Amino acid sequence: MFFYTMLVSVFPIHYICYMSSIVISPKNRKELQFISKLLNKLGVNSKVLSEEDTEDLGLSVLMKDVDRSELASEDEIMLKLKG
């Protein structure tokens, strides 16, 4: 099964103080190579993420949005982990 995700970092003009990113999921390896070469020619930094990297990125987004107002006891956590 083909699975690649490309993270593209776009560095705006030097007087802007932030960086933006675009996540691209190509359909196949040929499309991935084409997009990679195109971005390279345009001088845009990019990185191909592994499946594990992509999962980590998704997990970090979920963790960012989690409700942190309630606390769980150690026993509750251990029950969930064993469950």
Q: Give the whole-angstrom CA distance, residue 11 versus residue 63.
A: 26
- pLDDT profile of the chain (83 residues), mean per 10: 57 54 87 92 88 87 84 90 85
- Compute how many other C-beta atoms are within 10 angstroms of the C-beta atom of residue 57: 14
Question: Rounded to 5 degrees, what are φ and ψ at 27?
Answer: -70, -30
Q: Identify the pLDDT of residue 13.
A: 45
- Compute how many other C-beta atoms are within 10 angstroms of the C-beta atom of residue 6: 19
Does the global pTM surpass 0.95?
no
Q: Give the whole-angstrom CA distance, residue 50 versus residue 43.
A: 22
